[in-house]
Amino acid sequence: MKYKSIALLGATFGMSLLGFGIFSLIPVGYLFYIAVLKDEPLPRSEHQYLILGLLVIAVLEFILFNWLWAIMFAVFLFTYVNKNSTLVKNLRILKKEGVEQTKKVKKKVKEFEID
């Protein structure tokens, strides 16, 4: 249960609990089988088809049911799949800059520490 399909499993299961309904229970079952019972990562091509299927499900539920949750779910999937998206890149840059700033502050604090 250490692979990234667990994140999709949790998100899909959470969305089904929050009102996505029966459509999202099908990929939940598949992800549960792969990620939990077999405890292995999804093959790359299979992973892409699964994400595409989940996006189609999100669009269907946008049309049929709760449009707000469907939009949030589709945005989550898009940022998860597209790791090179600008949002993820910006978050990585901000994290890196934050770590560098923290190191600089720690150095300054050590300089001014009194024994």
Render pLDDT for 31-61 as a digit per residue (tens, 0 to 9).
Answer: 666 666 666 666 666 666 666 667 667 666 6
Same-domain pairing of 13 and 67: yes
Same-domain pairing of 32 and 62: yes
Taking 3-state DSSP, the helix, strand and coil percentages for the chain, each rounded to the nearest 5, stand at 85, 0, 15
pLDDT classification of 113: cutoffs 50, 70, 90: confident
Same-domain pairing of 88 and 61: no
Range of the domain at 96: 83-115
Average pLDDT over residues 8-14: 63
Asked whether the whole model's pTM tops 0.85, one would answer no
Specify the higher pLDDT residue, 103 or 12: 103
Same-domain pairing of 75 and 101: no
* Rounded Cα distance, 83 and 53, in Å: 18
Same-domain pairing of 76 and 90: no
Q: How many domains are contained in the chain?
A: 2
User: pLDDT per residue over 95-109, tens digit each?
Assistant: 888 888 888 888 888
